[in-house]
């Protein structure tokens, strides 16, 4: 999963991104070697992995991971090529969802590019750049489709959608605020636009305000009201504290969070919110060689889920031996679960569930 961190200058993006890379550096065991400087990879926290590791005495544990892209450099006018505008916009095109960092902390030492702290104005500034960029693409596409439609009437639906989108953009609204049918969503994906990307607002608050998740912060209140209108999620963090947490060992981290009165780090909450925003779940594979979590879209059938491991698994899929994580733990071992008849044989129409521990059988 790829997430892009965007936001105006001086809102705390680099502080958050550095915390992410620091946290990522600690969790070794990645099947990656070269990571570009603007990409931070972190493990998706999943307590089930350590339980399975204990049960199988595995050689290694491989968590699912998320790639965070630091998409810095957005300024007013980016869509017109100001600053590194175009480069910035092309980076957004590559990510599946946007984490929009919004400044909700006061600090007279840290200047705001537009003079004062104002989350809604900041959101509008960024959204407008995405909207301008999308408008350009949509207008070109409308012209092209109008020509093609003369010989291909099947494009009528597409043209209508393009016009609806154009109208929305011209009203200064993002495409993600439109309610679309499943078919329209598919078409929009093909247009590869920016303002259609699912978005989480990250409210960056002070060390003081994060203790109650920004409950008493007026900017967070505004941000939440805005997000509600778009069905978007808000995650309140303090980037500075995230940076401190990232440097701690696991045990110290828990102590530190407890002292602050928090249950989870902001990063962990961000990861959870991203999973839920994108409709993702994890299934697990376990054996003496490795215990591993795999991220898939909720609703995938067994062969496609197997394809996540290897395309051969999907092509030659025969069946899946599935047991729910909780059943496996209750039985104590895979063989005990089998004796109790809790290991199910599922076919190609089985829809994989979060926490399924699966062994795929396939032909090569």
Q: List contacts with ligand GDP (CB under 6 A).
A: 7, 9-15, 72, 105, 107, 110, 204, 206, 238-240
Look at residues 96, 66, 288 and name the one whose alpha carbon lies nearest to residue 192. 96
If the CB atoms of residues 49 and 238 are measured against ligand GDP, the closer one turns out to be 238
If the CB atoms of residues 262 and 357 are measured against ligand GDP, the closer one turns out to be 262
Look at residues 238, 232, 226 and name the one whose alpha carbon lies nearest to residue 266. 238
Residues belonging to the chain: 364
Question: What three-state secondary structure class fits 273?
Answer: helix
Look at residues 204, 3, 216, 248 and name the one whose alpha carbon lies nearest to residue 104. 204
Name the minimum Å distance from CB 23 to ligand GDP. 16
Cβ atoms of residues 188 and 168 within 8 Å:
no
If the CB atoms of residues 11 and 322 are measured against ligand GDP, the closer one turns out to be 11
What secondary structure does DSSP assign to 277-299, as a single string? HTTEEEEEEE-SSEEEEEEEETT
Name the minimum Å distance from CB 14 to ligand GDP. 3
If the CB atoms of residues 12 and 303 are measured against ligand GDP, the closer one turns out to be 12
Return binding residues for ATP.
10-15
Q: What residues pair up with 235 in beta bridges, in sequence order?
A: 202
If the CB atoms of residues 168 and 204 are measured against ligand GDP, the closer one turns out to be 204
Return binding residues.
10-15
Name the minimum Å distance from CB 112 to ligand GDP. 10
For 342, the token pair is 């809790």
If the CB atoms of residues 59 and 107 are measured against ligand GDP, the closer one turns out to be 107
Cβ atoms of residues 240 and 139 within 8 Å:
no
If the CB atoms of residues 194 and 239 are measured against ligand GDP, the closer one turns out to be 239
Name the minimum Å distance from CB 104 to ligand GDP. 9
Name the minimum Å distance from CB 202 to ligand GDP. 11
Cβ atoms of residues 239 and 15 within 8 Å:
yes
229-251 exposure pattern, b = at least 16 Cβ within 10 A, e = fewer: eeebbbbbbbbbbbbebbebeee
Query: In the chain, which ranges are continuous DSSP H helix?
Result: 13-26, 47-56, 85-94, 119-149, 156-170, 182-191, 218-230, 239-246, 250-260, 266-277, 302-307, 311-315, 325-331, 334-339
For 264, the token pair is 């989870």
């Amino acid at each position: 999963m790829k997430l892009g961190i965007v936001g105006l200058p001086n809102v705390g993006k680099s502080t958050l991104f550095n915390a992410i890379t620091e946290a990522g550096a600690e969790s070794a065991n990645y099947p990656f070697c070269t990571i570009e400087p603007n990409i931070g990879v972190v493990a998706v926290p999943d307590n089930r992995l350590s339980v399975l590791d204990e049960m199988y005495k595995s050689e290694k544990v491989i968590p699912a991971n998320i790639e965070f892209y630091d998409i810095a450099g957005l300024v007013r006018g980016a869509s017109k090529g100001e600053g590194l505008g175009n480069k910035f916009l092309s980076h957004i095109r590559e990510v599946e969802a946007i984490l929009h960092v919004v400044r909700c902390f006061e600090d007279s030492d840290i200047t705001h590019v537009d003079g004062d702290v104002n989350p809604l104005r900041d959101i509008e500034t960024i959204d407008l750049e995405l909207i301008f960029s999308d408008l350009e693409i949509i207008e070109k596409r409308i012209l092209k489709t109008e020509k093609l439609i003369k010989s291909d009437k099947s494009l009528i639906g597409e043209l209508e959608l393009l016009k609806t989108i154009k109208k929305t953009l011209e009203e200064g609204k993002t495409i993600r605020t439109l309610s679309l049918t499943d078919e329209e969503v598919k078409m929009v994906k093909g247009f590869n636009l920016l303002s259609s990307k699912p978005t989480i607002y990250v409210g960056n608050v002070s060390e003081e305000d994060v203790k109650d998740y920004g409950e008493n912060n007026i900017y967070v209140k505004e941000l939440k009201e805005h997000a509600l209108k778009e069905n978007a999620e808000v995650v309140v963090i303090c980037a500075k504290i995230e940076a401190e947490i990232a440097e701690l060992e696991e045990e110290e981290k828990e102590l530190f969070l407890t002292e602050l009165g928090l249950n989870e780090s902001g990063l962990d909450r961000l990861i959870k919110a991203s999973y839920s925003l994108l409709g993702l779940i994890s299934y697990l594979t376990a054996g003496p060689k490795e215990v591993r979590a795999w991220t898939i879209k909720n609703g995938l059938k067994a062969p496609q889920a197997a394809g996540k491991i290897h395309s051969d698994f999907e092509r030659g899929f025969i069946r899946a031996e599935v047991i729910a994580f909780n059943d496996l733990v209750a039985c104590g071992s895979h063989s005990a679960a089998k004796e109790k008849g809790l290991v199910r044989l599922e076919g190609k129409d089985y829809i994989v569930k979060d926490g399924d521990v699966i062994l795929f059988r396939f032909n090569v």
